[in-house]
Structure 1
């Protein structure tokens, strides 16, 4: 089965991505030809399946030491795999493609905990990561081979297991004459800086900090659950960011760490957001001011990361935004003010859906896996060597 896929001129691969924003599953049907740096990808169809509110809140519990337990993790590992499988089937149907014509599924899984640096106080908390959504369940439900669990291989060779998308960014967006920064703004923000005509080893990539995570949590909390995100940045636009709070948030130790570095809900999750919301309310900030302040925090964390860790080694003329943050007009306007020398645009302007980009990336990772080719980028993750990431589950 797998050997036959290698001999095909191109493969139809469904890439599945669910990120730290916990908003749902993105499923991209991708026609992939070639392999390695010369891979060609064509987005055939894209479907986004939102998580139900009760599932989102359950996942937030799993991402919290205070509210999680082994039974919840065990059950959700299988439950969410069914959600992923259904998303893959729906994506094929929406694209007008029979599942029989799909060659392969690639799943990132749902991250529930990430330990990029060992805990000096506990010998058992070694560098590690956990993505749930068992790939065997997905394979049995869809009848297709599934590649998944990518991050662990990078960590096994000394990397932080993230960010992974920079490898695909290099394939899809490198330019011979123009320096570019690919900024994904999902739950967490991450950037890939690609100098003009760069080789992979010159790429700079890391997590810039919270993306939509704190904004979304503020919207959920302040609306009493009536809303889950700030549509178009409209609520933030009604408020005024509190400069003192933004400065305090920017003093977080994460921003002083040099790349490669990664972060997630373990640092900037629900508890962090709730504590800061309470402080801002005590200081008399309105709901709109609070959303605007978290939005400004995201913008400042991105711009400062560029100034300190990107521009000195990778000058860039363009910042290309993808992910849910690409739809937040207030956030993009703030970025434009903080980065006046860079053109701020979205991946749509270059012909690839900003919502689909990360799911497309995982289709590319699975394609390299088939050929036994490395699909990580050591300059981004800090891995000692390039390595083949992923594990295979067969349907039979």
Structure 2
């Protein structure tokens, strides 16, 4: 495979901003070599965040969705170019842009009530617009190829987790806490145990929404978990919350705002008040819900996969209360680390991963993990919009 400099773009379910990672990839000694050159998160203004949130309502007019697909492509391209200029990296040295896009709908399983109904997913931020505005070849829309092969189109990060982070000596769980939380379970490399990966449930999504309600929109997340730390977890209510069908569904499974979005948070907030919880108590209980749903899944694999480390990444690692809630529910033999401890920027990981998926995809190399998504076969994910060409006339 050729060496390439790739810009990975990631905008997640938390809708907090666009992550941009610039990574050098090469292939030597039968291994992928990588060097993260630059990383930045471009925060979304409240108006854009609100507009993106509104797109997740199934009643949103189709023309609005279609228009935002084009607008977001322009926004991604412009912010990427500004970031490269800020980094002092030569724009001409960029070989490829790899964009996850912004998921506005993800329905990996459906009740087939119509001959036209299929599992489906939609990420916007059109790659043709990005390619046209930057002049660079752009790859994106990864999830649909996996779905076409019978998979859930998610989670995709476990492919990179196994490729880059599996240990010879000890079992690891790679935990990502974004809007949704997901795990990749990696037994030691010589083990016969297969990789297991899926969404555990909500990550920051419910906590963020509760904080926004508590502060009347003045804050959009619980910085360092300070608000939760002043509240008290209502254990009776937490037990009821953990009865949600998703927490007991078989794997593979993925989820998003369709289950844990606005409607869920509105009901949770009302129920918290019925339990006579203060608003800080509601946020503490929502934080413990995320922690418990994560810890419950980690505990399943401690023995079978010889798990010694849980390595966390994503925005949730900055919520110290959440991290302490997870730690207190893990066996003493399992250490909770962050990806910084193994040399990977905790905030940059997902953008880095999509840079990797794009690097492989554009060179026609498989970049999916069927045991994680449930697909019938490994595929080469990603659609390509070629960069500007010199055309002779």
| TM-score bin, normalised by smaller chain | over 0.9
Tell me by how many angstroms 1:174 deviates. Answer: 1.1
Q: Is the alpha carbon distance of 1:72 and 1:292 closer, same or farther for their aligned partners in structure 2, counting shifts above 3 Å?
A: same
Q: Which residue of 2 aligns with 1:55?
A: 48
Given the alignment of the two structures, is residue 339 of structure 1 paired with residue 323 of structure 2, yes or no? no
Cα-to-partner distance string for 1:25-54 (whole Å, 9 max, x where unaligned) = 100000111289821111100010011111
Q: Is the 8 A contact 1:47 1:94 kept in 2?
A: no
Which stretch of the first structure deviates more once superposed, 30-39 or 155-164? Answer: 30-39
Tell me by how many angstroms 1:182 deviates. Answer: 0.5
Q: Is the alpha carbon distance of 1:198 and 1:250 closer, same or farther for their aligned partners in structure 2, counting shifts above 3 Å?
A: farther
Which stretch of the first structure deviates more once superposed, 384-393 or 366-375? Answer: 366-375
Q: Which residue of 2 aligns with 1:221?
A: 213
Q: Which residue of 2 aligns with 1:366?
A: 358
Q: Which residue of 1 aligns with 2:313?
A: 322
Tell me how many residue pairs correspond in the alignment: 387
Gapped runs of 5+ residues in structure 2?
A: 389-393
Q: Which residue of 2 aligns with 1:296?
A: 288
RMSD (Å), alpha carbons: 1.7
Given the alignment of the two structures, is residue 189 of structure 1 paired with residue 181 of structure 2, yes or no? yes
Inter-partner Cα distance in structure 2 for 1:52 and 1:43: 27
Inter-partner Cα distance in structure 2 for 1:164 and 1:11: 21
Of 243, 263, 268, which residue of structure 2 is paired with 1:251? 243
Q: Which residue of 2 aligns with 1:91?
A: 83
Cα-to-partner distance string for 1:207-256 (whole Å, 9 max, x where unaligned) = 00000000000011111000010111111111111112211111111111
Given the alignment of the two structures, is residue 376 of structure 1 paired with residue 352 of structure 2, yes or no? no
Q: Is the alpha carbon distance of 1:158 and 1:117 closer, same or farther for their aligned partners in structure 2, counting shifts above 3 Å?
A: same
Q: Which residue of 2 aligns with 1:64?
A: 57
Of 343, 362, 381, which residue of structure 2 is paired with 1:351? 343
What does 1:277-288 align with in structure 2 at a 5 Å threshold? 277-288=269-280
Inter-partner Cα distance in structure 1 for 2:192 and 2:65: 36
Cα-to-partner distance string for 1:317-375 (whole Å, 9 max, x where unaligned) = 10111000011100110010001331011001111111000100011111111221110
Q: Is the 8 A contact 2:187 2:193 kept in 1?
A: no
Which stretch of the first structure deviates more once superposed, 77-86 or 226-235? Answer: 77-86
Given the alignment of the two structures, is residue 177 of structure 1 paired with residue 177 of structure 2, yes or no? no
Inter-partner Cα distance in structure 1 for 2:213 and 2:371: 38
Inter-partner Cα distance in structure 1 for 2:91 and 2:266: 43
Q: Is the 8 A contact 1:37 1:171 kept in 2?
A: no
Of 159, 164, 171, which residue of structure 2 is paired with 1:167? 159
Q: Is the 8 A contact 2:362 2:384 kept in 1?
A: no
Inter-partner Cα distance in structure 2 for 1:101 and 1:171: 26
Q: Is the alpha carbon distance of 1:371 and 1:218 closer, same or farther for their aligned partners in structure 2, counting shifts above 3 Å?
A: same
SS of the aligned residue for 2:21 comes to: strand
SS of the aligned residue for 1:275 comes to: helix
Of 34, 42, 48, which residue of structure 2 is paired with 1:41? 34
SS of the aligned residue for 2:307 comes to: coil
Which stretch of the first structure deviates more once superposed, 323-332 or 281-290? Answer: 281-290
Inter-partner Cα distance in structure 1 for 2:52 and 2:374: 28
Tell me by how many angstroms 1:65 deviates. Answer: 2.2
Gapped runs of 5+ residues in structure 1?
A: 1-5
Inter-partner Cα distance in structure 1 for 2:193 and 2:47: 43
Cα-to-partner distance string for 1:81-118 (whole Å, 9 max, x where unaligned) = 12211232133223211211111000001001111112
Q: Which residue of 2 aligns with 1:114?
A: 106
TM-score, normalising length: structure 1: 0.94
Q: Is the 8 A contact 2:170 2:306 kept in 1?
A: no
Q: Which residue of 2 aligns with 1:235?
A: 227
Q: Which residue of 2 aligns with 1:3?
A: none
Inter-partner Cα distance in structure 2 for 1:167 and 1:205: 9
Q: Is the alpha carbon distance of 1:198 and 1:107 closer, same or farther for their aligned partners in structure 2, counting shifts above 3 Å?
A: farther
Q: Which residue of 2 aligns with 1:154?
A: 146
Q: Is the alpha carbon distance of 1:334 and 1:389 closer, same or farther for their aligned partners in structure 2, counting shifts above 3 Å?
A: same
Inter-partner Cα distance in structure 2 for 1:36 and 1:372: 19
Q: Is the 8 A contact 1:38 1:171 kept in 2?
A: no
